[in-house]
Each structure stands twice: as structure tokens, then as C-alpha cells.
Amino acid sequence: MMIKEPAIERKNPLWELATEYLSHLQFERRLSNNTLYAYNHDLKKYINFMYNELQLMSIDSIQSAHIEKFVNELSDAPKMDNKEGIKKSSSIHRLFSTIRGFHQYLCQLRITKNDPSQLLVPPRLTRSIPTTLLVEEVNQIIQSVDLNKKYALRDQAILSMLYASGLRVTELVDLKLKNLMMDEGLIRVFGKGGKERIVPFGKRALTFLKLYLKEVRPSNSKKGKSQGILFLNHRGGKLTRMSIWNILHENTLRAGITKKVSPHVLRHSFATHLLEGGADLRSVQEMLGHSDITTTQIYTNIDKIYLKEIHKEFHPRG
């Protein structure tokens, strides 16, 4: 049985409850648009399976065995519909979290007394070591920007800022002029869930940023669509996430680097290089905006693997 992208019926009572939950996540918990998209995607699959495949018409009719059947169908599928490039195990783990949150919400509101997800054990999530760049490779990418292009100074500022501050790509495109504290070399960032943090970005990135603000942004902002956004496209509006990916991809190729490099790789590199330089884990956690320090600890594992490789290569009895 294949789980297809659902076409939810308007009078589907299960989807009506799911819609209430999504509204709760959006307006009360203030989750980001990307996170809401993921929850919406997962819930549609879940509701579609329960309602259309298993013919379950009420929330009280859903049992643990039904959820297990749903997850097993996904696990057995040859390939998940996954536009974000997340691995299957990660997607299924996220599904568990979405389903649990949904049923817990309904129990809290006393819409139902039954939580069929309570006793289910999510699959163990194995974390892969993220790709990182050497400092020299980061410099090569930034220096590979073609200065003859109209938006070269903007692109250099963007690439420098990503690496210098460890911002998520969404945080970067949402940056506004008022978020800059130029004299202190700091930026005010609003991350996941609207959480605010202050992040330094260093002298080199500041140099590129000043050039962009002086030479490029003023002409674009005259088009009247900037709304105070820092990095603007040729129409004077906010850049998209894909635009940032394209800028990075183009200059990675120009630098002759064959690794798969995404904006998140620059974020990984930012964290890894800080820890390698002696920064403490708590400070890196704060700069990355991680709510849980265990998320930041993965970068200490990268350092350990690097040390093992050095030992194996150079120790006489490695």
C-alpha cells in the first residue's frame, strides 16, 4: 500500500482537528514557516492514511496499532516524497514527533481522553557527521566572486556573513538594517520560534558589508520594496533562500571545490572552526541559537574524528 500526498476532504473531521493544531503552532507557539510547512506535510499524510486508507472517522477510533501500520508503510516505501533532502530515518523520526504533539494537544484540550501515540517508541535517530570546509576553502569561495558582476559586493557580503556569524539561511534573508549594530560588530537575530539572540560577525565580514551598503544597496532600495531588509535582489525586494543557494553554488564551482556545499555547510564550518580554536561549547550553542546543547555537541565529534585521522596519518604506529 503506497502512501500518497493527500487531497484532504473539506468535511474530514480528523483534518479539522489537525487544522486547529496547526493554528495553535502558528499563533500560540509561533513556530517558523519552514517548521509549520513540515508539520502540515506530515499531518496531511497521517490524516489521509487514517481517514482514507483505514476508514477511521473519529479521533477516538485511532489506536497504537494504526499508527504503527502508518509508520511501517512509510518505512517500507522505496523512497519518501522528500523535497528537503532529509534522510528517511530523520523524516520518520520527525513524523513521530508530529503525531505525538498532535495527540497530546487534543488530550490537553480534552477533545479526547485517548493518546494512542503515548506508548510508541520512535526509531533511533542516527546523526551523521555534517560536511565542513577548511578555512582556506571558505576563503576561496568568497574570493571567487566575479567582481565584474553587478552584485559582486552583495554576494561577497552574503557569503562572508554566513560564515562569520553561522546564521541559518532563513535568518540571513530576514535580516533587516535595524538588526545591525555596526559599531559593536554585532547583529540581532530572530531564530526558530522567534527567539532572539545577539551574534558577532567579525571585521572581515564588516568590511564586505560596508562596501555593499555603500555601493550596491542604495540603488536597489530606491525601488521601494525593501521594507528595511538588509540583502536585496535586483527588484529591490527580499532574496529567496534559493537565491542564496545559487550564489553559494556558483562561487563554490568557481573556487574548484568539489564538496557538496550548502549554506548550512558554512554554518557547520563556523561552529567547527570556533571549537577547534578553543571556544567553549556553551558560547557556540548561544551563537548558533540551539535550544539544546546536545545539538551543538555534534561538532565536538567532528573535532575528535579529525584528531583520529591526524593520529592515524602521522603517528609511527598509527
DSSP 77: S
DSSP 179: G
Which residues are known to be catalytic?
168, 192, 264, 267, 290, 299
Nearest C-alpha neighbor of 135 from the set 254, 36, 276: 276
Dihedral, 90, 92, 97, 98 alpha carbons, nearest 10: 120
Phi, psi of 180 (to 5 degrees): -85, 135
As given in the structure block, the three cell numbers for residue 139 are: 576563503
Contact 208, 154 (CB under 8 A): no
DSSP 8: -
Burial letters 233-259, b for 16+ CB under 10 A, else e: beebebbeeebbeebbebbbeebebee
Strands (E), the chain: 180-181, 186-190, 196-200
Say which residues have a Cβ less than 8 Å from residue 180's Cβ, sequence separation at least 6. 187, 209, 230
* Cα 318 from Cα 311, distance rounded (Å): 6
Helix, strand, coil abundance in the chain, percent, nearest 5: 60, 5, 35
